Amino acid sequence: MLEASNIVEASPAPSIDSLISGTYTIKHTNPLIWYHGRWTDEPSTWWTGTGFKLNVLGLSSLSLNIGPVTTSPYAAVGISVDYEAFRTVNISAGANTLPLNLPKSNSIIPKTHVVRIATEGWQNNRIELDSITLNKGAILLPYKPSKLSFQFIGDSLTAGQYDARGVIDTWAFITGETFKAEHRINAQPGACLTDQLCWGNYHGVSYQYFRTEDTGYYYTTDHNYTTAWDFKKDLPSTHVFIHIGANDNAYNITGDAFKATYLAFLEKLRRLYPTQPIFILTPFGWPSADGNVYYYYEGVYADVVATRKAAGDKHIYLVDTSGWQRYQDIFPDNSHPTEAGHQHIADQMIAWLKDWGLKPQKSWATLPSGSN
């Protein structure tokens, strides 16, 4: 089961082989692994940021047993233990022991620890999870998700293209973490919203968002096809964020055509998220050294929101991001946000949401032992 599972039981007893080896191995089908993002049945990941969470009593070691579908020679994942800052670990097919960096404890009472793992890469981000090996005596417990669940939809400016840690350093990931929200990020570098070929992406996000696979499926040898995503597997979203259009503009798609595509996309999204707030972000723009910023499709995003409101949509909001991205916030050779640039954008988004009336959760829903 994936995100929407409401599991209350503890994990089953370890096998005889595990007891003999002094470890405890659980298969990927264990219902207490709390998956997020888009996974196939193998299971293997699609879309950046896809991963899982574990709540473990008596944890001292953890190894991921990874299958051959995993990006070769390795895939970068971010790991966070007990809500520390994410650290990058490269994993590959076979057994991968993760550095937990747990503090030493003199207590004889075992503690619980929360382990969060997410793929980082804006490309080459596939992992195939076969099983997880824990230390002898460890007990897998239910993970309770946050009351907030953010869905982000976009392109390279949300996927973290060119950033060292990919999606981990993006404005979207930072915003989700700040509000202590579960978050899914369906963003594909180079993709248009329009369903056409853009920078090697054979489909646009208006099509691909409803598929399990990201647009990189076309170039894989084991999985060069798409399958419909079952949205019942998702933890229901509480808020939806969309920042897209740069690639449509680059491919000279007219404002009228882009507006029509955006409205059709929102119509489909409303079938999934009938009353959830949808935030339509205007472009961050392309800053230049002289201080000017080029904004594309000016007025179109406001028209999209106005059209939806006129049709009776009471839960759609325009987020004017003018000035959120400055020249010092981008890589000069490709105009994408640097890590500091993403932080600056996130700061603006967080402030906007707080002014709008959304407050961060006081704590994560699943806390490690000793946390308040």
CATH topology of domain 16-141: Jelly Rolls (2.60.120)
pLDDT higher than threshold 70 for residue 171: yes
How far apart, in whole angstroms, are the C-alpha atoms of residue 154 and residue 162? 15
The structure tokens listed for 91 are 């994993």
Peptide bond into 43 cis (omega under 30): yes
CATH topology of domain 149-356: Rossmann fold (3.40.50)
In the block, tokens 């916030």 appear at: 329
Q: What are phi and psi for residue 307, nearest 5 degrees? A: -65, -45
Q: Chain-wide mean pLDDT for the chain? A: 93
How far apart, in whole angstroms, are the C-alpha atoms of residue 49 and residue 170? 11
Q: What is the pLDDT of residues 298-340, one digit of tens each?
A: 999 999 999 999 999 999 999 999 999 999 999 999 999 999 9
Residue 372 — pLDDT band, cuts 50, 70, 90? low
pLDDT higher than threshold 50 for residue 177: yes
As a whole number, mean pLDDT of residues 17-21 equals 46
Q: What is the pLDDT of residues 238-271, one digit of tens each?
A: 999 999 999 999 999 999 999 999 999 999 999 9
Residue 3: per-residue pLDDT: 46
Q: Is 241 within 8 Å of 232 (Cβ atoms)?
A: no
How far apart, in whole angstroms, are the C-alpha atoms of residue 218 and residue 223? 8
How far apart, in whole angstroms, are the C-alpha atoms of residue 279 and residue 162? 25
| DSSP line for 144-170 | PPPS-EEEEEESHHHHTTT-TTGGGGS
The structure tokens listed for 244 are 């897209």
Q: Is 28 within 8 Å of 140 (Cβ atoms)?
A: no
Domain boundaries, the chain: 16-141, 149-356
Name which of 234, 231, 144 is nearest 180 in CA terms: 144
Q: What is the pLDDT of residues 39-70, one digit of tens each?
A: 999 899 999 999 999 999 999 999 999 999 99
Residue 9: per-residue pLDDT: 40
pLDDT higher than threshold 90 for residue 21: no
Residue 103: per-residue pLDDT: 86
Residue 5 — pLDDT band, cuts 50, 70, 90? very low
Name which of 246, 144, 172, 188 is nearest 38 in CA terms: 188
Cα distances (Å, whole numbers) of residue 161 to 117, 141, 199, 296, 305:
19, 35, 14, 20, 28
Q: Is 209 within 8 Å of 201 (Cβ atoms)?
A: no
Question: Which residues fall within 8 angstroms of residue 1, CB to CB, at 6 or more apart?
Answer: 7, 31
How far apart, in whole angstroms, are the C-alpha atoms of residue 168 and residue 353? 20
pLDDT higher than threshold 60 for residue 13: no
The pLDDT > 70 percentage for the chain reads 94
Between CA 314 and CA 347, with CA 187 as vertex, the angle to 5 degrees is 70
**In sequence order, what are the beta bridge partners of 135?**
23
Residue 114 — pLDDT band, cuts 50, 70, 90? very high
Side-chain half-sphere CA neighbours of 240 within 13 A: 22
Measured in whole angstroms, how far is the alpha carbon of residue 223 from the centre of its chain?
A: 21
Neighbours of 252 (CB within 10 A): 7
Measured in whole angstroms, how far is the alpha carbon of residue 165 from the centre of its chain?
A: 13
pTM, whole model, 2 decimals? Answer: 0.94
Q: What is the pLDDT of residues 185-205, one digit of tens each?
A: 999 999 999 999 999 999 999
